[in-house]
Each structure stands twice: as structure tokens, then as C-alpha cells.
Amino acid sequence: MDGNGKFNGKCLALLLLLFTGMVVVLNLVVPDRTFSETENRVLKQMPQFSMTALLSGTFTSDFETYVSDQFAFRDLWVGAKTDMDRLLGKKESNGVYLGKDGYLIQKFVPPAEGDLQAKIDAIQAFDAATPGLRKYMMIVPTAAAVLQDKLPKYADTGAEEAYLNKFQQTLPARFNFVDVFPALYAKREQPVFYKTDHHWTTKGAYTAYIELCKQMGLNPQKEEDFIVRQATHEFYGSLYSKSGYRHVQPDSIELYRPQHQEKYTVTYVDEDKTSHSLYAPEQLEKKDKYAVFLNGNHGLIRIETAQTNGKKLLIVKDSYANSFIPFLLQHFSEINVVDLRYYEQDLAEFVNRQGIQDMLLLYNANTFSEDPSIQYLSE
């Protein structure tokens, strides 16, 4: 028995050695990738070596990320790991919960102490620089707050609500806070969030549009005024990419088109390109199909509509606004859309120069808490 045991041990050691050698060879032979379609993100490239980077620790950290990102057949291993986690009963991967009914739901992580105050300070400074501008703020609660019944039992559900309450209490008085939680919660079974992506659905965006109309005194369009068309039924979104969970059903993306469509012009200012559609159907052939709305994110987009009321709206936003904006075309002559992650000009000066009367800041709770670009309002 001892002889057999030693022989089996040697065989296992040899197999492990062969496997390790094969992995090393594959990592040397397989060329580096720049982008992962599955994870929908840019992959780390080989960092440049220097003594300064080595001594500061940045080279080691960057090299570890590079090895992880460029590991041979990475997508296969990530999928295998999450499959094993599911078999073991684990329902969280890379900050994404595996919820009921096939929902993947992003975990809300509260920001560092002082982060919220820095954003409030920027908002107050912008407010002081644009006293004549009517301002509305919509921080959209995420699926983690609205669909709590879909979450695993151990999931933390109070952090996001506490964060939004604190923000609302400290928001400058001239900002009208548009609370869309009750409306989204009432429609939560329709659905108002995608199952594999962090965005709200077009149904969710329409639900929030009704609430904004109430605040702004606008006469909202009825849902039956639109032709609802399914653009794709094969949408695997950001949470599918981030989590590694693979055995889930894809989402459908719906477009709400007015029954009586009026002409309008969309200008992508930084790219100096124009279009006569808010939609980019070519994006439906790519991984990030949500980019069908407004062709993704851009620094500044100007939309000139057929309305003659002279009303100008500024939207400062994250990607949640991309599926929301089509509902506003019937209410404004001009809509300027700014994404502070890519916009580098003085926004207050832009508002005053363009004669804009109304402003909507629209973010989802996760992006607003994580992204520092809102602080650029005051720069």
C-alpha cells in the first residue's frame, strides 16, 4: 500500500507540474488582448518598468493586474469559478449578487467619509454661479434598493437608502429633488431594471419621466402615445460581464418611439458629427448593446427639436439618462446633454452664455456615489 501511495503521489505531482508548465507556456504564447468582449472592459497591458515605479510599489501592483487580465483563457476560468461558487451556494461575485428570478444586482458600496460633502460643495458653488437657472435633481435608486425581495437574505439593503436620505437633506434649497423611488417600487414587477445590467429599462425611464413632469409642471405623454419596439432580445449587460455568472437569460431592450415622430437634429459636439436619430442601431451588433441609446456617452450633445417654445434644458448625467432623454423631446426646443466624465469646459459659463432656463442632474445612486466627476461642476 505504501508503494502504491508513493507512486500515486508522484503521478499527481507530475500531472500538477505538467499542468503548471502548460499554463506557463500558454501565457507566453497567447498574445495579449486589449479588450474583453465578455467583461466589456479594457484589459491591463504590460506596465513600463522603472526603478521609481518598482520602489513605489506601482509596478508590482500594475504587473499583478496585468497577469490577471492577460491570463490565458481568462474568460473560461472566470466562468468556471462562478459556476463552482454557485454549486457551493455562494450568491455574490465581484460585488454582484445572484438574486431571485435570474436577477444580477450590483451591491451598493458607501463612499469614503467626506466624499458626499465634497460633491455638495461643488453643487453649491455651481448653484451660486447660476442663480437664474431652475434646477432639478434625480438620483435614481438602484435595483438593490427597489428590488430588495430579489436579493439574497444576507444582502445589506440599508446603506443606499441612508446615503440618499443624507444627500437629500443637504441638497441646496434651490434644487428640486425628484424622488422616483415610490414610482419605481410600484412598477417593480413590470420590470423597471434589466436582469443582467445595472441600468433601468426603458419602462423604468418612462416611469421616472412621469415623476419629473409632475415636478416641472409638464404635460406628460401617455404610454399609448408610443410605439414600443423590441430592439434586441439578446442583451447581456454590465453585471453579466462583471460578475462572471454565465447561466442566466439575456435581457430585451425596448425602444419607445412616438407615434407621430417629429424631426430633430442630434449634434455630437466634440466629434463634430450630426444625426437625425437618438438611436445607434449598429451598437446592437456589439457587446454593449445599451449604447443603442445616444450612441453611448459623450462630453456634450446638443439636440435641437421641432418645438418652438424656446425652452432650453441642460442635462448633467450618467448613462441612465441616455434612455430617458427621448421622452423629453416634446417639451423643449433645445436639450444640451453633458457628461462630466468627458466634458472639460466651464459649465456655469456655458449655461449663462446659452441662455438655458432649466437643468436636470440625473445619476443613478451607484455612479453618483462612486464617480468624482460631479465635483467638476464648480471648475
27 pLDDT band, cuts 50/70/90, is low
- What is the rounded CA–CA span in Å between residue 78 and residue 65? 15
In this structure, what DSSP letter does residue 293 have? Answer: B
Contact yes or no for 262/289 (Cβ under 8 A)? no
Residue type, 9: G
The whole-number average pLDDT for the span 265-270 is 97
Longest dimension (CA), the chain: 92
The whole-number average pLDDT for the span 201-211 is 98
The set of residues, in sequence order, having a beta carbon less than 8 Å from that of 340 and lying 6+ positions away, is 316, 347, 373, 374, 376, 377
- What is the rounded CA–CA span in Å between residue 239 and residue 107? 10
The reported pLDDT for the residue numbered 157 is 80
Kindly write down the DSSP assignment for every residue of 102-133, as one continuous string: G-EEEPP-PPPTTHHHHHHHHHHHHHHH-TT-
Contact yes or no for 144/157 (Cβ under 8 A)? yes
Nearest Cα residue to 277 out of 290, 297, 293: 293
Q: Which helix (H) or strand (E) holds 364?
A: strand 358-364
Segment 169-185, tens digit of pLDDT:
999 888 999 999 999 99
The whole-number average pLDDT for the span 147-167 is 91
The whole-number average pLDDT for the span 275-280 is 96
114 pLDDT band, cuts 50/70/90, is confident
Cell of 21: 508548465
Three-class SS state of 152? coil
Residue 63 has pLDDT above 70, yes or no: no
Segment 323-353, tens digit of pLDDT:
999 999 999 999 999 999 999 999 999 999 9
CA 147 to each of CA 189, 231, 267, 344: distance values in angstroms, whole numbers, following the listed order: 9, 25, 36, 36
The reported pLDDT for the residue numbered 154 is 85
- What is the rounded CA–CA span in Å between residue 120 and residue 286? 37
The residue assigned the cell 446603506 is: 159
The reported pLDDT for the residue numbered 247 is 85
75 pLDDT band, cuts 50/70/90, is low
- What is the rounded CA–CA span in Å between residue 102 and residue 156? 19
Contact yes or no for 351/361 (Cβ under 8 A)? no
Q: Would you give the end-to-end CA distance of the chain in angstroms?
A: 76
* Neighbour count for residue 347 (Cβ, 10 Å): 23
The reported pLDDT for the residue numbered 109 is 87
149 pLDDT band, cuts 50/70/90, is very high
Cell of 327: 421622452
Average pLDDT over all residues of the chain: 87
The residue assigned the cell 432656463 is: 357
* Neighbour count for residue 228 (Cβ, 10 Å): 13
Dihedrals phi, psi of 356, to nearest 5 degrees = -80, 135
- What is the rounded CA–CA span in Å between residue 138 and residue 177? 6
